[in-house]
Amino acid sequence: MRRDGIAGIATSSGSLSIAGRPINPVLPALLGAACISSSAIVVRLADVAAGTTAFYRCLLALPVLVVLSVLERRRHGSRSARSRTLSFVAGTFLGIDLVLWTHAIYDVGAGIATVLGNLQVVFVTFIAWVWLRERPRFKFLLALPVVLLGVVFLAGLAGHSGPNFHPVAGVLYGLGTSLTYAAFILILRASTKEIPHVAGPLTDATAGAAFASLAFGLALGQLHFSLPLRSLGWLLVLALTSQTVGWLLITLSLPHLPAAVSSLLLLFQPAASLVLAAIVLSERPTVLQLAGAGLVCGGVILAARANANTKTPLVEPTPG
């Protein structure tokens, strides 16, 4: 079945091509994961309140996404009102997710918060179990204790952690991030089922996220419209690299990658974030936290592979 992408990007029979030239989908997938893996570090560099960060990263991404969605609509036609509404609703969960995730970054660090975001895989499976009656496989259930033990080590609940860590708050924000991100994934998939559009759904979802983060930020007193130029610049970088380029590259690539290769992206992104956080922010996780990161990533990959053939695939980028 043919599935065309946006503005000259086409996919067919499991291959990916740009302007008629076939390319290996692994390359854009890795580039997209790299863009997203840096987002937690950029959030720390922007150094503004969580509601402000979430709102501006979405608002600043919208102009580019709107242009891409217009080009896409000329190629594929308009989407249904139902599809657009579902995408917007999915985006409201994304907006809440981004606010919670930013709190997790400040409480447990950029690298560790990104690893915690991978728990969305677990929540997607449980939601699909309850709503869609998709019973998880036994291997997935075996992976759960591994993941939970990893979370305990990762957030500093066992052993020594840094003086600026707030492990309990970080875990709670991380769990909230994963839950709302799982809801975002499932609703967005429902909005894009059997349609070739990529930029349009992402535009509507980003608009929904901007609306939700605006409301959330105002309610919590975390929204500030007067920002230092330096912070605004980092938020613009975040909007263009993660919210726009990273998401588009991964969304285009994942349908054309084998499940085993796709699941490795779940490991690449948090691993890259941990390395970048150590280099740029001088974050130094303890040995136990690094072991926890390994347990979480390994358990998540096992869970993703165990459910690779279900109706609700699990491989998605983390909320960054």
* pTM, full prediction: 0.78
User: Which tens digit of pLDDT belongs to each residue from 163-206?
Assistant: 556 777 887 888 888 888 888 888 887 887 777 788 888 899 99
Greater confidence, 145 or 219?
219
CB count within 10 Å of CB 14 equals 12
User: Which tens digit of pLDDT belongs to each residue from 238-247?
Assistant: 999 888 888 8
In eight-state DSSP terms, residue 159 is S
The answer to whether position 104 is within a domain reads: yes
The answer to whether position 280 is within a domain reads: yes
Taken as a whole, the chain contains a residue count of 320
The answer to whether position 311 is within a domain reads: no
Domain extent for 92: 25-306
| Domain count of the fold of the chain | 1
In 3D space, the residue among 245, 275, 267 whose CA is nearest the CA of residue 36 turns out to be: 245
Say what the pLDDT of residue 4 is: 32
CA triplet 252, 11, 2: central angle to 5 degrees? 125
- Return the top range by mean pLDDT from 13-17, 80-84, 156-160: 80-84
Say what the pLDDT of residue 139 is: 72
The answer to whether position 9 is within a domain reads: no
Greater confidence, 29 or 66?
66
Full DSSP string of 206-254: HHHHHHHHHHHHHHHT---S---HHHHHHHHHHIIIIIIIIHHHHHHHG
Tokens representing 57?
């990263």
Say what the pLDDT of residue 69 is: 92
User: Which tens digit of pLDDT belongs to each residue from 109-147?
Assistant: 887 787 777 777 777 777 777 776 767 677 777 777 777
- pLDDT higher than threshold 50 for residue 12: no
In 3D space, the residue among 201, 173, 214, 199 whose CA is nearest the CA of residue 56 turns out to be: 214
The answer to whether position 3 is within a domain reads: no
pLDDT category, 280, cuts 50, 70, 90?
Answer: confident
The answer to whether position 228 is within a domain reads: yes
The answer to whether position 6 is within a domain reads: no
The answer to whether position 45 is within a domain reads: yes
pLDDT category, 310, cuts 50, 70, 90?
Answer: low
Pick from 61-70, 135-144, 213-222: least confident: 135-144
> Averaged over 284-311, what is the pLDDT?
69
